[in-house]
Structure 1
Amino acid sequence: MIETACMIAIVAISAAALLNLYRLAAGPDVLDRVLALDTLVINAIALVVVAGIWFASPVYFEAGLLFAMVGFLSTVAFCKYLLRGNVIE
């Protein structure tokens, strides 16, 4: 039963990631592309967590936490670069 639920979740998250890739490529504005990239990172975290549930391994959850930290820092740095022109002051 859990395998079926994980497979459905992987298909749904992959469809969401494909839609995010479309928004990333065809975004009308740079801010739309930043939001699409941030949402794509969230989808990647979800895929890693679902894989951790499917394989019953806690290592995947730690990898998901690392992706979350790196994704947050990259989004903040990119937004700061777009607003001010530099990242480090």
Structure 2
Amino acid sequence: INNLISVLTGANYLSWAPVMKGFLMAQGVSHVLTEDCPSPTTYDDNSNNANDIFSWKEDDTKALGYLILRVQESIRVKHDALVSAKAFWDALSAEY
């Protein structure tokens, strides 16, 4: 990741964002930027979607980790309270 994506400084957001999004796509986790976590559901046969929820949360954690790794420390600290990749991504988009 270090060789593929520059660190976001703020001023480079317009060039950073598409490369970062492409990386998240290549890692198979970009869907968490646009999809909400599935709601718990129990089906007629008493099965449920717990595995889908677990997978989504795992992908969200990975995506957030990738984002945190490629932003300047001052940006990371400012958004440290954000706990989802979508919230982090949206905050960066709104700010820059």
Classify the TM-score, shorter chain.
Answer: 0.3 to 0.5
TM-score (norm. length: structure 2): 0.38
Highest relative contact order (Cα 8 Å, sep 6+), 1 or 2? 2
Between structures 1 and 2, the one with greater helix share: 1
TM-score (norm. length: structure 1): 0.40
